[in-house]
Structure 1
Amino acid sequence: MGGLTEDPDFLATTFVVIDFETTTPAGYPAQPIEVAALALRYEAGAWKETGRSQSLIRPPTFAPVTPADTAQTGLTPEQLQQAPSPAEALGALDRRLTAGTPYLLVAQHAATEAGVIHNQAEHCPTLARTDFLDTIPLAKHLIPGLPNYKLDTLLAHFGIQQPADRHRAYADVDVTAQVLLRLISAANENAGLGDLAALVKIAGRTAKLNMPTQTGLFDI
């Protein structure tokens, strides 16, 4: 391995791969119906799993699971009737983050996951202040020339088998984590990506709650 995995900031960081399945009601932001997360650390020359979490989430009445949602995810309204509420599911996940530990959330097309978390920030304040690493710009930088950078395309490129339950949160987290590890391996051989700061510059996404507040031009 090269410089990236010897960088103290990289070694201190826990990478939490996260994925939501959602329903998208008209006039409202996407509402989570399932979440999964997998925490990884690079230690002593190898990746180590430090935690995993998965939960169904009961959507609000204004965001019912539709036949299209069921066709994509396999989840039905009946399965979610007794599931934890967003406050319960995301609150439980939020409490698993340890104060003082550097984290980066990781997602394929991180804007989607970042938006869901931001809209649920009252239930998961620590998650909502955790920045993201997006596998799409990282893959574009490291593997130029692919026809697109969808998850299925990256799986095919790396020879990662598609899971039978693709579009369920944990299956997608698992294969996204496999993509991440291959991208980190490629980044480790790239002289321009010698530390975590360089990685974040290319593929980082700042959580909305961490962005500076812009005040008006005039204070009245």
Structure 2
Amino acid sequence: MNFSSWPPLLVVDVEGNGANPPDLVEVAALPVREGQPDTGTAGAWLTKPRRPVTPFAARVHGLTNERLENEPGWEEIADQVHSLMGTSWICAHNAHVDHRVLSAHLPTWRPAGVLDTLRLAKATRPGLPRYSLDALIEHLRPDLTAAPAHRHRATFDAYATAQLLILMADHYDTWDQLVAAAVPPGLPGAPEPDKDPTLW
């Protein structure tokens, strides 16, 4: 895979307060450049949700109401998040979720396309018993020695997802092949279906 042919791409991850629909409590956006995660230009934000963090969510990611009490509200950081992400491609694990939540919080944001490492893993590693982020980390053994924070924090999960993307992208020769395998139907960047030449 020629990584220099990739358009601007950010691996994103979000953590929520456990409500449905969720309020965001953390967002991470990690650029991938020349086949490497670029932590020097990454963005990471904590935000105090409008509704309290549920006990279950706090147990998962460790971000309690007390920890977030003095963090800015979403309206204070939304422009920063939108500015960093711009119109880049994004990648996430089970990307429907991250795309839906981010779109709800950033109504005018339109990514160029959306890669999904869950979909990519099913294409490149068929037959695995599970395709969760934890299962893929265990199976593919990406280098996570430089990963920040810990599992289920947005910065760690974005870093792990970036490393998985880079490993699995080597299965393809071109960006277009990667896109065809990794963009879920209905999300931005999905290839247009071939038109039937017999139809007028």
Question: TM-score interval w.r.t. the shorter chain?
Answer: 0.7 to 0.9
Change (3 A) 1:107 1:58: same
Deviations 1:112-165 (A, max 9, x none): 10111111123xx33x44421000111111111110111111101112377772
Q: Would you say how many aligned residue pairs link Structure 1 and Structure 2?
A: 184
* Aligned mates of 2:33, 2:113 — CA distance in 1: 16
For residue 96 of structure 1, report the CA deviation from its aligned partner: 2.2
Question: Unaligned 5+ residue runs, structure 2?
Answer: 191-200
Given the alignment of the two structures, is residue 22 of structure 1 paired with residue 16 of structure 2, yes or no? yes
* Aligned mates of 1:97, 1:161 — CA distance in 2: 25
Change (3 A) 1:200 1:94: same
For residue 183 of structure 1, report the CA deviation from its aligned partner: 0.7
Match of 2:68 in 1: 80
* Aligned mates of 2:78, 2:54 — CA distance in 1: 22
For residue 56 of structure 1, report the CA deviation from its aligned partner: 0.5
Q: Output the TM-score relative to the length of structure 2.
A: 0.81
Given the alignment of the two structures, is residue 107 of structure 1 paired with residue 104 of structure 2, yes or no? no
Q: Flag as ranges the 4+ runs of structure 1 deviating above 6 A.
A: 161-164
Change (3 A) 1:79 1:15: same
Q: Output the TM-score relative to the length of structure 1.
A: 0.74
| Percent of residue pairs identical | 29
SS in 1 for 2:180: helix
For residue 91 of structure 1, report the CA deviation from its aligned partner: 1.6
SS in 2 for 1:95: helix
Contact 2:18 2:54 in 1 (8 A): no
Change (3 A) 1:165 1:47: closer
Given the alignment of the two structures, is residue 132 of structure 1 paired with residue 114 of structure 2, yes or no? yes
* Aligned mates of 1:137, 1:48 — CA distance in 2: 20
Deviations 1:59-91 (A, max 9, x none): 11xx31121111111111011122122222232
For residue 12 of structure 1, report the CA deviation from its aligned partner: 4.5
Contact 2:37 2:163 in 1 (8 A): no
Larger radius of gyration: 1
Match of 1:39 in 2: 31
Q: 1:174 is matched with which residue: 126, 140, 159?
A: 159
Q: 2:53 is matched with which residue: 65, 76, 79?
A: 65
